[in-house]
Amino acid sequence: MVSLPLSDLTVIDLTAARAGPQCVRQLGDWGADVIRVEPPTVRAADLGERHGSDFQNLHRNKRSIALDLKTAADRDVFFGLVERADVVVENMRPAAKHRLGIDYDAVRGVNPRIVYGSISGFGQDGPGADRGGVDQIAQGASGLMSVTGFPDGNPVRAGFAVTDLAAGLHCAIGILVALHERARTGTGRWVRTSLLEAAIAMLDFQAVRWTVDGVEPARQGNEHPTIVPMGAYATADGWINVAAWGGALWDRFTAVIEHAGLREDPRFATPSARAHNRAALSEEISGRLRTRTTAEWLGRLDAAGIPAGPVNTVAAALEDPQVAHLGIVQPVTHPRLGTLRLVGNAFSLDGQTAGIRRPAPECGEHSAELRADLGA
């Protein structure tokens, strides 16, 4: 088996829900030995969830040990694991880890080299730190929902757990930064992020439109907030995204849709004029694009070098030939569930991809071997 870049790392996984497992998944996919610490009591309802697609996708590439961290004996086993580990990741409410006695200071006391990753809803301290935070709450609190949806409609959540996933990625990056520093200093760090911070970081240019320009962003539907034309338009049989905002792209676009009058119309002569007359331009473009199918327009736009793409369903996207070529959908064999097609890691290294080496474990599946390793 080819060695993966993180195969020398041991990660203790105390996470649940989505943001924490997303972080740990990045490390496990690239070879880290992930040990998931779970409560020993499994309800019947949990078993069904465990064998569901979401759990299998989130928790692959792990071993599992069942520990009751409220008991002194099992906390001793946990700290035995910590002594040999490189990373601990948790996404409890800030106070919970202190109540259990497994907070950063306690863990660092056992292993000063440990890198401890924490993900919360709103941060580890401050006036809102103790609030419960899940993805949709963070989407609303961060302002993300205020810029998602149509101008005359209600605020809309993103169609996936975007703040959970972003917080997990930010935590994984922070852990790798801390591990890089540890190679020089020999000392670990406490990496902290939250759903709120990740969401605001992802607002990116929308956030600095307010902090720098004093402009409060608003909902623009399927059109770009500042660049025109860039948006989704109906075709004869579906929808297409087009980005033809300026210069030669704009000229080529008007030629492709056979509407040279757009170039001559003073309302659309410059990028700022097009932005000012967004609604009128959208109506003109929509009228043209409805005359042909998505495939016909894609052929013409691709030939002209104009960025464009279909608005796929999830099923259509996952069956796209380019997606198949990239290999992001990967199989793994589960002893009870058979072959599962899961969503792999999103980057490669010189063509080497992160592997899905093992399915999500059963609760406590590896307790005996891990305890034996510790002599417990």
Same domain, 78 and 195: yes
Same domain, 99 and 14: yes
Same domain, 61 and 168: yes
Token readout for 320 is: 């796209």
Residue 111 has pLDDT above 60, yes or no: yes
Same domain, 57 and 178: yes
CB neighbourhood size of 309 (10 A): 14
Do the Cβ atoms of 209 and 224 come closer than 8 Å? no
Same domain, 345 and 291: no
**pLDDT band at 41, cuts 50/70/90?**
confident
What residue spans of 72-161 are helical by DSSP H? 72-84, 94-100, 104-110, 135-141
Angle of CA points 83, 88, 89, to nearest 5°:
165
Token readout for 102 is: 């497994």
Token readout for 266 is: 């003073």
Residue 103 has pLDDT above 70, yes or no: yes
Same domain, 244 and 115: no
If you ran DSSP here, which 8-state letter would residue 362 be given? P
Query: CA distances (Å), 35 to each of 280, 306, 344, in order?
Result: 57, 48, 20
Residue 294 has pLDDT above 70, yes or no: yes
Angle of CA points 120, 124, 126, to nearest 5°:
120
If you ran DSSP here, which 8-state letter would residue 223 be given? B
If you ran DSSP here, which 8-state letter would residue 160 be given? S
Q: What is the pLDDT of residues 2-29, one digit of tens each?
A: 699 999 999 999 999 999 999 999 999 9
Same domain, 167 and 297: no
Query: Rounded CA gap, 224 and 70, in Å?
Result: 51
Catalytic residue IDs: 164
Query: Rounded CA gap, 18 and 109, in Å?
Result: 28
**pTM (predicted TM-score):** 0.96
- DSSP-based three-state secondary structure for 182: helix
- Picking from 261, 286, 310, the residue at the C-terminal end of a domain is 310
Q: Is 129 a member of any domain?
A: yes
Q: Which amino acid is at 343?
A: V
**pLDDT band at 45, cuts 50/70/90?**
low
Domain that holds residue 184: 10-203+326-374
- Total number of domains constituting the chain: 2
Q: Is 320 a member of any domain?
A: no
